[in-house]
Structure 1
Amino acid sequence: MGRGSRRKSVLDDVEKTQADIDNQPHRLAANGILDLLKKYFEAHEDEVNAVDDRGCTPLIWAARNGHIEVVKYLVEVGGDVEMGGYGGMKSIHHAANNFQEAVVGVLLERGANPNGTDEMGNCSLHYACARGILNLVVTLIEKGADVNLGNDQGTTPLHKACIYGHLAIVKKLLQFGADADAADKDGNTPLHCAARVGFANICKHLAGEGKANLRKANNAGKSPAEMALDAEIQELLVAV
């Protein structure tokens, strides 16, 4: 569908129900239709932070979908970079979770807190580490993100990188001072997580250059080697 057809479809649909009318700016923002969004807010300037039926603002939708010029405009006219939508996820969380690195940069420049959290205690660095976006991880840390910030379960960005198998990010986090022995609420360290999931390369790095404690027991009394289901990892952690 071309841009003109997409614009017409959005406009044709907004009149169908009251909910559609209420959500009109959100759909314009989500689709990156900046000129019509500007016209809308010229007449409804007090609605820039209005939430839709999912609790999201127009800024959240624009950030999530990578519409950087829309993001810039919305912030300029009063869009709140710290407002959260469903799950408490703010614009910067949605951008990080959807690989929108440039949008994250714009939000940081305009005051977004790199350590702001959602309802589960996850910050934008948690999302970037889970997604494996190395450049974004570096950017967030350089802008003040706490490499050792734990979420409500005590999971740090390093735990996330280990769980999802992103070795390059594991290395970078350690270079920036991440605690290799940080324990979550179950007592699991990043090494416990990597061993359980089966990432031998990460286990090797944590046990070697990462200087992780191989004998540290979790709340169930198990060491990383005892958490491993893979024989190679078990042997690796016992042999080191």
Structure 2
Amino acid sequence: MFSTLRKLFCFKKEPKTPLGFCDCPSRAKGYMSCFYCGTEDRYCQPYDPENKFHEAVCMGKFKVVLRLLGKKKFHVDDKDEGKRTALHFACFYGHLDLVRLLLFKECKINALDNQKSTPLMKAIQSWETEIVSVLLDHGADPNIKDCNGEAAVHHAVYVDRPDIASILIEFGANIEDTTKDGFTPLLLALRERKLRIAKYLITHGANLHVCDKYQRTTLMYAVRWDCEDIVEILLKKGVDNHLKDTFGWSALYYAIVGKRKTW
């Protein structure tokens, strides 16, 4: 019903800036403008088990899991219809003891579900920093990409966790890896208004001069959200405020038309 109401009340006026880039409220907490009608909560989908083994894992029933594996009723890498393994569920629901057990049982650490998500990605989605560390210590690959062309570091951006991004990068995650749409972690963080991790990436070696497919710069995205401190950092680090996107707009022009306070 809510999504239907959003469509009914979508903003119908002509955008003031190209594709409405700077038409939304600059400091809004949520994405309520019409330009985000297609944006969904990526991690609100149910993640429910389909068999007794996976159900026991989700509920953290260590002894039951051990018994089911011991009786060989289930294999450690058994998959459900969504191609999810026990490790996917253990990581998503934050059961570190079961993660360690499954790894001891030599489960496939980089198993892919039907969305090509790894257990590492599921741990990140649930903010399970310790599980992330354990998986990486045991050889989990941080650079595998899911069906959206997003690697673990991009998932760290979506949950706005610099601590997780730091661990991933320490274990070889590519700080400049791009999604299908060409977004590096930094550009994605700025697009999604994940400002904590954006600041972390800016100060830890990310390329500040990347652009999206419309040649919109990191500075333009910082202006979009009226992030005065990030704008200041980018300017001090040499991001050119005279650059123009494919529409011929500069960061300053976006700030003026969008009534931003960053300039």
For each residue in 1:126-178, what CA deviation from the matched residue of structure 2 results, as whole angstroms up to 9, or x when unmatched? 11122121221211111111111111111111113223434443332123321
Q: TM-score, normalised by structure 1?
A: 0.79
* Paired positions, count: 215
For each residue in 1:165-200, what CA deviation from the matched residue of structure 2 results, as whole angstroms up to 9, or x when unmatched? 344433321233211111233333332333334433
Q: Which runs of 5+ in 1 are unaligned?
A: 1-19
Q: CA deviation at 1:87?
A: 2.0
After TM superposition, the structure 1 = structure 2 runs for residues 1-240 of structure 1, keeping only pairs within 5 Å, are 23-44=51-72, 47-208=75-236, 210-228=237-255, 230-233=258-261, 236=263
Of the structure 1 ranges 157-166 and 112-121, higher mean CA displacement relative to structure 2 is found in 157-166
Provide the alpha-carbon RMSD of the alignment: 2.4
Identity of aligned residues (%): 25
Q: Which runs of 5+ in 2 are unaligned?
A: 1-47
Q: CA deviation at 1:22?
A: 6.0
Letter in 2 for 1:172: Y
Q: CA deviation at 1:32?
A: 1.2
Contact 1:115 1:123 in 2 (8 A): yes
Contact 1:180 1:190 in 2 (8 A): yes
User: Structure 1 residues 85, 167: closer, same or farther in 2, change over 3 A?
Assistant: same
- CA distance in 1: counterparts of 2:49 and 2:195, whole angstroms: 47
- CA distance in 2: counterparts of 1:60 and 1:21, whole angstroms: 10
Runs of at least 4 residues of structure 1 off by over 6 A?
none
Q: Which has the higher contact order (CA 8 A, sep 6+)?
A: 2
- CA distance in 2: counterparts of 1:184 and 1:69, whole angstroms: 42
Letter in 1 for 2:238: K
